[in-house]
Structure 1
Amino acid sequence: MIKFTLNGKTVETDAPATVRLLDFIRDDRLLIGTKEGCGEGECGACSVFVNNLLQNSCLIPIGSMEGADIVTIEGIMESEQFKILDESYSIAGGVQCGYCIPGMVMASAALLSQNPHPSETEIREGISGNLCRCTGYNMIVDAINLAAKKGDGLWQKK
């Protein structure tokens, strides 16, 4: 039995240890905000927080999650940080098809919690593990920059 926390709730599973965290999240828990893009850890669509670190869930076997604290996009949607990111992405036009956005928002939250006032270069570096084929990166960078300004003081880890 593997036991961990998922979005604040204790989860126990007897899934085979080799099942990818991504598949468990989507198929077992029906949390479909976490997407499969490449399945190789290159695109960031499957980004989740594992023990407060941004990780690609397509590369993580569920067996390695014993005792971990996992947060998906659904887990942060009620936070003030998410509300600011959501509004900022909308204002800046940073969303088109939306497929990459959950992972991009997770990367944005990770960046801003580490660096509440990033430069454009730091923003581009912070989202460099995430691919977007529709919007392009300028509007996403603008959204993160706007979120940094709007959420001043909210990004520091508590």
Structure 2
Amino acid sequence: MLLAIPCLLYSTTKVYRSKGTLKTACLLLWPDGLPDVSYMDYIYQVLFLVVTYAVPMLGMTFFYSAMGRVLWGSGSIGEMTQRQVDSIRSKRKVVKMFILVIVIFGICWLPYHGYFIYTHFDPSILYMKYVQHLYLAFYWLAMANAMVNPIIYYWMNAK
């Protein structure tokens, strides 16, 4: 909720004419200018990247690694029954699932966050013909992460 406060405070609409028709755009109007020139927007995007991407990636990596070490390393001494072999195989499959969840999260969300950081350094991209399509593709990919996780869980766990 705290990350949404700047959007609440600085969001506005702007009506402009494009090819003879009136269009309305919703944008953030920071105290120091529009996002393409605003240093406040850049700081906000970096903070947003850290809070919603870097911290979750580090957290998942740390905690899944800790669980994975326990699961992967668990074995038994001496001869193993088939049930023990199946149990070890199942635990190792869970570790592989952890790795896949982290990788998919990284792949899905990095382009979205990278887009906003990149536009600060090259604002001309905002005026390219298909930039809205590119943004929507990155947004779709980020939102697809929520759909992909249950598929991964179902695919990698028969239970």
Q: TM-score, normalised by structure 2?
A: 0.26
Larger Rg: 2
Structure with higher RCO (Cα < 8 A, 6+ apart) = 1
